[in-house]
Amino acid sequence: MLTALSRGPWSLGAFRGLLGIGEAGAWPAFAKAAATWVPLKARTLVIGICNSGSSLGAMIAPPLVAAITLRWGWRWSFVVTGGIGFVWVAAFQLFRWFNPNMERTDRVQASGSGKVRWTELLRYRQTWAVFFCRFLADPLWYFFVFWIPEFLTRDRGLNLAGIAVVAWIPFLVADLSNFSGGYLSLRLQGAGWSVNRTRKTMMVLAVVFSPMAILAVLSHSLFWTIAMISVSIYFWIFWSISVHSLPGDYFPSRAVASVYGIAGTGSTVGSMISTWAVGAILDSTHNYTIVFVGLSMLMPVALIVGFSLMKRVEPIAGMHVE
């Protein structure tokens, strides 16, 4: 919300940095909750459901922010969207109030499992597998989240009202993918597939189809542009929910949040580099084709690096997974 008080790039960067610090705990906490409270077979589905909240927010944001900006100015868009966060805090507190047994279960498991220093987790190749899977693949998602409005303005000639009409569609597709991908994973494991086979199959599907984004930039039709971005996002989510499940597949619940946090660092660093690179490329070439191709081709690289480090997806010997 403080972003509304920005007066230049330094204050803008400082306030956005505070947002990053504040939200950093939410994602590891959600991964730990899934690993602690949810049976293994259903974990990817639950992670998909939780992950859909991010997509839902990204879907609501374009029309909401456009409407607020057109009526009251851009500063109020940060006040309103930031204020919505207090609704989430209230909802979560009510959840804790009405589900005290889940709190006690979490404490019992944590206290009975001992502690794992996060620095010790760096010795495991599985930690680095999740790190690089996110370091190399997440820039494509963050490009869609942060750059699509600018792309639609620069290359498709849409104004703010036009962006509000279409920019939410790919994120609706992401929501559907979170549910359908998680359900597919549940059904595959219910049919007797191992966790290893399920995770890797979903990741391969993502790598095969997410580069369809390249066709979006090559198309001059707004319909096909949005359609190809949507296809790319749909299958990229398969990657996301699978990789988000890996910390719980490898590590006991007491270590999941730490592993997820390390992987989140990979996501942040990779996306920081890619965001700078995208801006530099567009400033110098004004060519989105290079950007779409480059980010899409990171997906096969992520698969090769990830599979080489992942080996077989199963609990690490000597670290019991509840």
The SS3 of residue 286 is coil
Confidence (pLDDT) at 102: 62
The pLDDT tens digits for 274-313 are 999 999 999 999 899 999 999 999 999 999 999 999 989 9
pLDDT, mean of residues 21-28: 80
Binned at pLDDT 50, 70 and 90, residue 319 comes out as low
| Residue 193 reports pLDDT greater than 50 | yes
pLDDT, mean of residues 30-45: 78
Which of the pair, 154 or 302, is modelled with greater confidence?
302
From 294, 156, 182, select the one nearest 234 (Cα to Cα). Answer: 182
pLDDT, mean of residues 197-211: 96
Cα–Cα dist 142/267, whole Å: 9
Cα–Cα dist 215/228, whole Å: 6
Cα–Cα dist 119/168, whole Å: 40
Confidence (pLDDT) at 310: 93
Cα–Cα dist 165/161, whole Å: 7
Q: Is 132 exposed, middle or buried (0-12, 13-18, 19+ CB in 10 A)?
A: buried
Binned at pLDDT 50, 70 and 90, residue 137 comes out as very high
Confidence (pLDDT) at 210: 95
Cα 271 from chain centre? 11
Cα–Cα–Cα angle for 18, 153, 221, nearest 5°?
Answer: 130
| Residue 322 reports pLDDT greater than 50 | no
pLDDT, mean of residues 188-194: 92
Which two tokens mark 256? Answer: 């999941």
pLDDT, mean of residues 50-78: 84
Which of the pair, 106 or 219, is modelled with greater confidence?
219
pLDDT, mean of residues 5-31: 85
Level-2 CATH architecture, domain 2-310 = Up-down Bundle (1.20)
pLDDT, mean of residues 155-184: 87
| Chain mean pLDDT for the chain | 87
Cα–Cα dist 146/103, whole Å: 36
The pLDDT tens digits for 92-116 are 889 878 877 665 444 444 444 566 7
pLDDT, mean of residues 72-79: 91
Confidence (pLDDT) at 101: 67
Which two tokens mark 121? Answer: 């987790």
- Residue 263: Cβ within 10 Å count: 27
Binned at pLDDT 50, 70 and 90, residue 85 comes out as confident
Handedness of CA 255, 256, 257, 262 (dihedral sign): positive
Confidence (pLDDT) at 114: 60
Q: Indicate the range of 1-10, 88-97, 122-131, 282-291 predicted with least confidence.
A: 88-97
Confidence (pLDDT) at 309: 96
Q: What is the pTM of this model?
A: 0.79
CB contact at 8 A, 247 and 263: yes
Confidence (pLDDT) at 117: 79
Cα–Cα dist 214/296, whole Å: 7
